[in-house]
Protein backbone atom coordinates (compact mmCIF):
# COMPACT_ATOMS: atom_id res chain seq x y z
CA UNK A 1 0.00 0.00 0.00
CA UNK A 2 1.24 3.46 -0.88
CA UNK A 3 0.34 6.64 1.01
CA UNK A 4 -0.29 10.23 -0.02
CA UNK A 5 -0.60 13.52 1.83
CA UNK A 6 -4.14 14.81 2.16
CA UNK A 7 -4.14 18.33 0.82
CA UNK A 8 -1.69 20.84 2.20
CA UNK A 9 -1.49 19.03 5.53
CA UNK A 10 0.77 16.56 7.26
CA UNK A 11 -1.88 13.86 7.29
CA UNK A 12 -1.02 10.77 5.26
CA UNK A 13 -3.76 8.48 3.99
CA UNK A 14 -3.67 5.15 2.22
CA UNK A 15 -4.24 5.75 -1.48
CA UNK A 16 -7.03 3.20 -1.28
CA UNK A 17 -9.75 4.11 1.24
CA UNK A 18 -12.30 1.59 2.46
CA UNK A 19 -15.81 3.08 2.28
CA UNK A 20 -19.08 1.61 3.51
CA UNK A 21 -21.74 3.51 1.57
CA UNK A 22 -24.55 1.26 0.29
CA UNK A 23 -23.07 -1.76 2.06
CA UNK A 24 -22.72 -1.72 5.86
CA UNK A 25 -26.02 -1.65 7.69
CA UNK A 26 -27.86 -2.19 4.41
CA UNK A 27 -26.74 -4.62 1.70
CA UNK A 28 -24.18 -6.62 3.68
CA UNK A 29 -24.59 -8.64 6.87
CA UNK A 30 -22.60 -7.31 9.81
CA UNK A 31 -20.29 -10.35 10.03
CA UNK A 32 -19.35 -9.95 6.36
CA UNK A 33 -18.87 -6.22 6.84
CA UNK A 34 -16.48 -6.83 9.73
CA UNK A 35 -14.58 -9.42 7.69
CA UNK A 36 -14.23 -6.90 4.86
CA UNK A 37 -12.86 -4.26 7.23
CA UNK A 38 -10.35 -6.72 8.65
CA UNK A 39 -9.35 -7.68 5.10
CA UNK A 40 -8.76 -4.01 4.38
CA UNK A 41 -6.49 -3.70 7.41
CA UNK A 42 -4.59 -6.85 6.43
CA UNK A 43 -3.76 -5.48 2.97
CA UNK A 44 -2.51 -2.17 4.37
CA UNK A 45 -5.54 0.11 4.11
CA UNK A 46 -5.56 2.48 7.07
CA UNK A 47 -8.19 4.98 5.90
CA UNK A 48 -11.93 4.37 6.40
CA UNK A 49 -14.75 6.56 5.14
CA UNK A 50 -18.39 6.62 6.20
CA UNK A 51 -21.22 9.10 6.86
CA UNK A 52 -24.01 9.47 9.38
CA UNK A 53 -26.61 9.36 6.61
CA UNK A 54 -25.49 5.94 5.33
CA UNK A 55 -28.20 3.46 6.30
CA UNK A 56 -29.54 6.21 8.60
CA UNK A 57 -26.54 5.98 10.98
CA UNK A 58 -26.26 2.17 10.93
CA UNK A 59 -23.16 2.22 8.70
CA UNK A 60 -21.22 4.21 11.29
CA UNK A 61 -22.24 1.75 13.99
CA UNK A 62 -21.07 -1.21 11.94
CA UNK A 63 -17.74 0.45 11.10
CA UNK A 64 -17.15 1.41 14.73
CA UNK A 65 -17.74 -2.17 15.84
CA UNK A 66 -15.50 -3.56 13.10
CA UNK A 67 -12.61 -1.26 14.07
CA UNK A 68 -13.08 -1.77 17.80
CA UNK A 69 -9.87 -3.04 19.35
CA UNK A 70 -7.62 -1.63 16.64
CA UNK A 71 -4.94 0.88 17.66
CA UNK A 72 -6.75 4.18 17.14
CA UNK A 73 -3.62 6.08 16.12
CA UNK A 74 -2.99 3.59 13.30
CA UNK A 75 -6.19 4.31 11.37
CA UNK A 76 -7.78 7.39 9.84
CA UNK A 77 -11.55 7.56 10.31
CA UNK A 78 -13.55 9.89 8.10
CA UNK A 79 -17.24 10.70 8.38
CA UNK A 80 -19.64 13.33 7.06
CA UNK A 81 -22.53 15.56 8.05
CA UNK A 82 -25.40 17.02 6.04
CA UNK A 83 -27.94 14.37 5.08
CA UNK A 84 -31.14 13.71 7.01
CA UNK A 85 -30.82 11.36 9.98
CA UNK A 86 -33.03 10.22 12.82
CA UNK A 87 -36.73 11.05 12.42
CA UNK A 88 -35.74 13.59 9.75
CA UNK A 89 -37.19 16.63 11.48
CA UNK A 90 -36.55 20.22 10.32
CA UNK A 91 -33.15 20.39 12.03
CA UNK A 92 -32.08 16.81 11.30
CA UNK A 93 -30.24 17.79 8.12
CA UNK A 94 -27.97 20.46 6.67
CA UNK A 95 -24.94 22.36 7.93
CA UNK A 96 -26.46 24.55 10.61
CA UNK A 97 -24.48 24.93 13.81
CA UNK A 98 -27.17 22.96 15.64
CA UNK A 99 -27.05 20.01 13.26
CA UNK A 100 -23.25 19.91 13.01
CA UNK A 101 -22.60 20.04 16.77
CA UNK A 102 -25.27 17.44 17.51
CA UNK A 103 -24.25 15.20 14.62
CA UNK A 104 -20.58 14.95 15.59
CA UNK A 105 -21.47 13.63 19.03
CA UNK A 106 -23.71 10.98 17.51
CA UNK A 107 -21.03 9.98 15.03
CA UNK A 108 -18.33 9.74 17.70
CA UNK A 109 -20.56 7.52 19.84
CA UNK A 110 -21.39 5.19 16.96
CA UNK A 111 -17.78 5.05 15.76
CA UNK A 112 -16.56 4.37 19.34
CA UNK A 113 -13.91 7.08 19.20
CA UNK A 114 -13.16 10.43 20.84
CA UNK A 115 -12.36 12.15 17.54
CA UNK A 116 -12.56 11.73 13.79
CA UNK A 117 -9.55 12.40 11.63
CA UNK A 118 -11.61 14.11 8.93
CA UNK A 119 -15.10 15.60 9.22
CA UNK A 120 -16.67 16.43 5.87
CA UNK A 121 -19.54 18.67 4.77
CA UNK A 122 -21.38 16.05 2.72
CA UNK A 123 -22.87 18.65 0.38
CA UNK A 124 -22.99 22.43 0.12
CA UNK A 125 -25.84 23.88 2.19
CA UNK A 126 -27.72 26.73 0.54
CA UNK A 127 -30.02 27.09 3.55
CA UNK A 128 -27.29 27.98 6.06
CA UNK A 129 -24.84 30.91 5.89
CA UNK A 130 -21.40 29.56 5.05
CA UNK A 131 -19.95 31.60 7.93
CA UNK A 132 -22.13 29.68 10.40
CA UNK A 133 -21.03 26.34 8.99
CA UNK A 134 -17.34 27.14 9.00
CA UNK A 135 -17.46 28.57 12.52
CA UNK A 136 -19.02 25.33 13.75
CA UNK A 137 -16.24 23.32 12.10
CA UNK A 138 -13.61 25.63 13.61
CA UNK A 139 -15.08 25.07 17.07
CA UNK A 140 -14.98 21.30 16.64
CA UNK A 141 -11.33 21.48 15.62
CA UNK A 142 -10.53 23.50 18.74
CA UNK A 143 -12.47 21.06 20.91
CA UNK A 144 -10.37 18.20 19.53
CA UNK A 145 -13.38 16.27 18.23
CA UNK A 146 -12.25 16.83 14.65
CA UNK A 147 -8.63 16.89 13.48
CA UNK A 148 -9.16 18.02 9.88
CA UNK A 149 -12.05 19.38 7.83
CA UNK A 150 -13.12 18.52 4.30
CA UNK A 151 -16.13 18.77 2.02
CA UNK A 152 -17.86 16.66 -0.60
CA UNK A 153 -19.16 17.58 -4.05
CA UNK A 154 -18.46 21.31 -3.74
CA UNK A 155 -17.94 23.44 -6.83
CA UNK A 156 -14.74 25.38 -7.47
CA UNK A 157 -16.38 28.61 -6.31
CA UNK A 158 -17.70 26.99 -3.14
CA UNK A 159 -14.27 25.56 -2.37
CA UNK A 160 -12.72 28.98 -2.79
CA UNK A 161 -15.25 30.65 -0.47
CA UNK A 162 -14.97 27.88 2.12
CA UNK A 163 -11.18 27.89 2.11
CA UNK A 164 -11.07 31.65 2.60
CA UNK A 165 -13.37 31.50 5.63
CA UNK A 166 -11.49 28.55 7.08
CA UNK A 167 -8.24 30.50 6.87
CA UNK A 168 -9.81 33.44 8.68
CA UNK A 169 -10.99 31.09 11.42
CA UNK A 170 -7.60 29.46 11.90
CA UNK A 171 -7.97 26.11 10.16
CA UNK A 172 -7.88 24.82 6.59
CA UNK A 173 -9.97 22.80 4.21
CA UNK A 174 -7.80 19.92 3.06
CA UNK A 175 -10.09 17.70 1.01
CA UNK A 176 -13.04 17.37 -1.31
CA UNK A 177 -14.89 14.12 -1.94
CA UNK A 178 -16.35 14.05 -5.45
CA UNK A 179 -17.53 11.33 -7.77
CA UNK A 180 -14.69 10.61 -10.21
CA UNK A 181 -13.98 7.81 -12.63
CA UNK A 182 -12.85 7.25 -16.20
CA UNK A 183 -16.52 7.68 -17.13
CA UNK A 184 -17.29 10.66 -14.85
CA UNK A 185 -14.71 13.45 -15.14
CA UNK A 186 -16.72 16.56 -14.28
CA UNK A 187 -14.18 17.78 -11.69
CA UNK A 188 -11.27 18.03 -14.12
CA UNK A 189 -12.01 21.40 -15.73
CA UNK A 190 -12.67 23.57 -12.66
CA UNK A 191 -12.59 21.72 -9.33
CA UNK A 192 -9.16 20.13 -9.71
CA UNK A 193 -7.26 23.28 -10.80
CA UNK A 194 -8.89 25.30 -8.01
CA UNK A 195 -8.15 22.57 -5.46
CA UNK A 196 -4.48 22.50 -6.45
CA UNK A 197 -4.31 26.24 -5.95
CA UNK A 198 -5.95 26.00 -2.52
CA UNK A 199 -4.03 22.98 -1.23
CA UNK A 200 -7.04 20.66 -1.34
CA UNK A 201 -6.91 16.98 -2.36
CA UNK A 202 -9.64 14.82 -3.83
CA UNK A 203 -10.83 11.67 -2.06
CA UNK A 204 -12.85 10.19 -4.88
CA UNK A 205 -15.91 7.99 -4.65
CA UNK A 206 -17.23 5.55 -7.22
CA UNK A 207 -13.93 5.06 -9.11
CA UNK A 208 -15.47 1.90 -10.60
CA UNK A 209 -18.65 3.80 -11.60
CA UNK A 210 -20.91 1.80 -9.29
CA UNK A 211 -19.45 -1.43 -10.69
CA UNK A 212 -19.96 -0.63 -14.38
CA UNK A 213 -16.20 -0.39 -14.97
CA UNK A 214 -15.72 -3.96 -13.71
CA UNK A 215 -17.13 -5.08 -17.06
CA UNK A 216 -19.60 -7.47 -15.43
CA UNK A 217 -22.57 -5.78 -17.08
CA UNK A 218 -22.74 -6.84 -20.71
CA UNK A 219 -24.77 -4.99 -23.36
CA UNK A 220 -27.97 -6.70 -24.40
CA UNK A 221 -27.93 -9.27 -21.59
CA UNK A 222 -29.83 -9.72 -18.34
CA UNK A 223 -28.45 -8.20 -15.16
CA UNK A 224 -26.30 -10.44 -12.94
CA UNK A 225 -28.28 -11.72 -9.98
CA UNK A 226 -27.39 -9.95 -6.74
CA UNK A 227 -25.55 -7.12 -8.52
CA UNK A 228 -25.92 -3.45 -7.62
CA UNK A 229 -28.05 -2.88 -10.71
CA UNK A 230 -30.69 -5.20 -9.19
CA UNK A 231 -30.56 -3.69 -5.68
CA UNK A 232 -33.84 -2.05 -4.65
CA UNK A 233 -32.32 -0.34 -1.58
CA UNK A 234 -30.72 2.44 -3.59
CA UNK A 235 -28.03 0.75 -5.63
CA UNK A 236 -30.09 0.42 -8.80
CA UNK A 237 -31.00 4.11 -8.74
CA UNK A 238 -27.37 5.15 -8.41
CA UNK A 239 -26.11 3.01 -11.27
CA UNK A 240 -28.86 3.51 -13.83
CA UNK A 241 -27.17 6.50 -15.50
CA UNK A 242 -24.34 4.24 -16.68
CA UNK A 243 -26.46 1.30 -17.77
CA UNK A 244 -27.01 2.06 -21.46
CA UNK A 245 -25.80 -0.44 -24.07
CA UNK A 246 -23.60 2.30 -25.55
CA UNK A 247 -21.71 2.78 -22.28
CA UNK A 248 -21.48 -0.95 -21.58
CA UNK A 249 -20.10 -1.61 -25.06
CA UNK A 250 -17.44 1.06 -24.63
CA UNK A 251 -16.41 -0.40 -21.27
CA UNK A 252 -15.81 -3.81 -22.84
CA UNK A 253 -13.27 -2.13 -25.14
CA UNK A 254 -11.08 -1.51 -22.08
CA UNK A 255 -10.43 -5.22 -21.57
CA UNK A 256 -7.36 -5.46 -23.88
CA UNK A 257 -5.80 -2.47 -22.09
CA UNK A 258 -6.31 -4.06 -18.69
CA UNK A 259 -4.86 -7.31 -20.00
CA UNK A 260 -1.69 -5.52 -21.17
CA UNK A 261 -1.21 -4.19 -17.65
CA UNK A 262 -2.03 -7.52 -16.01
CA UNK A 263 -5.02 -5.97 -14.25
CA UNK A 264 -8.70 -6.72 -13.95
CA UNK A 265 -11.04 -4.04 -15.27
CA UNK A 266 -11.85 -3.02 -11.69
CA UNK A 267 -8.17 -2.65 -10.83
CA UNK A 268 -7.64 -0.61 -14.01
CA UNK A 269 -10.49 1.72 -13.03
CA UNK A 270 -9.08 2.36 -9.55
CA UNK A 271 -5.55 2.77 -10.89
CA UNK A 272 -6.85 5.24 -13.48
CA UNK A 273 -8.16 7.74 -10.91
CA UNK A 274 -4.91 7.47 -8.95
CA UNK A 275 -2.97 8.74 -11.97
CA UNK A 276 -4.43 12.19 -11.22
CA UNK A 277 -1.93 13.84 -8.89
CA UNK A 278 -4.69 15.80 -7.13
CA UNK A 279 -6.32 12.54 -6.01
CA UNK A 280 -5.07 11.51 -2.58
CA UNK A 281 -7.18 8.39 -2.30
CA UNK A 282 -9.79 6.32 -4.12
CA UNK A 283 -12.68 4.92 -2.09
CA UNK A 284 -13.58 1.31 -2.68
CA UNK A 285 -16.54 -0.52 -1.20
CA UNK A 286 -16.95 -4.22 -0.76
CA UNK A 287 -19.70 -6.74 -0.24
CA UNK A 288 -17.12 -9.44 0.55
CA UNK A 289 -13.45 -9.54 1.63
CA UNK A 290 -12.20 -10.87 -1.71
CA UNK A 291 -13.24 -7.63 -3.43
CA UNK A 292 -10.97 -5.65 -1.11
CA UNK A 293 -8.08 -8.03 -1.68
CA UNK A 294 -8.43 -7.71 -5.45
CA UNK A 295 -9.05 -3.98 -5.81
CA UNK A 296 -6.19 -3.01 -3.50
CA UNK A 297 -3.80 -4.29 -6.18
CA UNK A 298 -4.42 -1.00 -8.01
CA UNK A 299 -2.21 0.76 -5.46
CA UNK A 300 1.14 1.76 -6.90
CA UNK A 301 0.20 0.99 -10.52
CA UNK A 302 1.59 3.42 -13.11
CA UNK A 303 -0.34 3.55 -16.37
CA UNK A 304 1.83 4.68 -19.32
CA UNK A 305 0.67 7.79 -21.20
CA UNK A 306 -0.04 5.84 -24.37
CA UNK A 307 -2.41 3.52 -22.51
CA UNK A 308 -4.15 6.47 -20.85
CA UNK A 309 -4.75 7.83 -24.36
CA UNK A 310 -6.14 4.47 -25.46
CA UNK A 311 -8.54 4.49 -22.50
CA UNK A 312 -9.81 7.90 -23.63
CA UNK A 313 -10.24 6.62 -27.18
CA UNK A 314 -12.02 3.47 -26.03
CA UNK A 315 -14.56 5.35 -23.92
CA UNK A 316 -14.96 8.19 -26.40
CA UNK A 317 -18.17 10.18 -26.21
CA UNK A 318 -19.66 8.33 -23.24
CA UNK A 319 -17.30 10.21 -20.89
CA UNK A 320 -19.17 12.87 -18.90
CA UNK A 321 -17.08 16.04 -18.57
CA UNK A 322 -19.62 18.84 -17.96
CA UNK A 323 -18.42 20.80 -14.88
CA UNK A 324 -21.99 22.00 -14.26
CA UNK A 325 -22.84 18.48 -13.07
CA UNK A 326 -21.07 19.22 -9.77
CA UNK A 327 -23.34 22.21 -9.14
CA UNK A 328 -26.37 19.95 -9.59
CA UNK A 329 -25.31 17.61 -6.78
CA UNK A 330 -26.40 19.87 -3.90
CA UNK A 331 -30.08 20.64 -3.19
CA UNK A 332 -30.88 24.33 -3.58
CA UNK A 333 -33.78 25.76 -1.64
CA UNK A 334 -32.58 29.10 -0.24
CA UNK A 335 -30.38 30.93 -2.69
CA UNK A 336 -32.00 34.34 -2.15
Vertex 202 angle, CA 199 and 267, to 5°: 140
Question: Going by C-beta distance under 8 Å and a sequence separation of 6 or more, which residues neighbour residue 228?
Answer: 22, 210, 211, 235, 236, 238, 239
Please say whether the beta carbons of 303 and 261 come within 8 A: yes
Phi/psi of residue 102, each to 5°? -75, -35
Closest among 153, 80, 69, 83 to 113, alpha carbons compared: 69
Question: Going by C-beta distance under 8 Å and a sequence separation of 6 or more, which residues neighbour residue 64?
Answer: 110, 111, 112, 113
- Given 18, 54, 148, 217, the catalytic residue: 54
Extract the runs of DSSP E, i.e. beta strands, from the chain.
Answer: 3-5, 12-14, 16-19, 47-49, 76-81, 116-121, 146-151, 173-176, 201-204, 279-284
Tell me, yes or no, if 54 is annotated catalytic: yes
Active-site annotation, residues: 54
Amino acid sequence: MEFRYLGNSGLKVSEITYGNWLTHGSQVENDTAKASVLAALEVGITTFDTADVYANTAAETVLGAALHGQRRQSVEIFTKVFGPTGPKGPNDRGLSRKHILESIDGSLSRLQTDYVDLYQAHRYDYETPLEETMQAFADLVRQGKVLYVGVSEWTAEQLRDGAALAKQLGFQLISNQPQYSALWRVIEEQVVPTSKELGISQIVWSPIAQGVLTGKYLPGTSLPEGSRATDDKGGADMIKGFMSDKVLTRVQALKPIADELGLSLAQLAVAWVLQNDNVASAIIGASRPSQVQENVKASGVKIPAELLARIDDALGDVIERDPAKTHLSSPKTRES
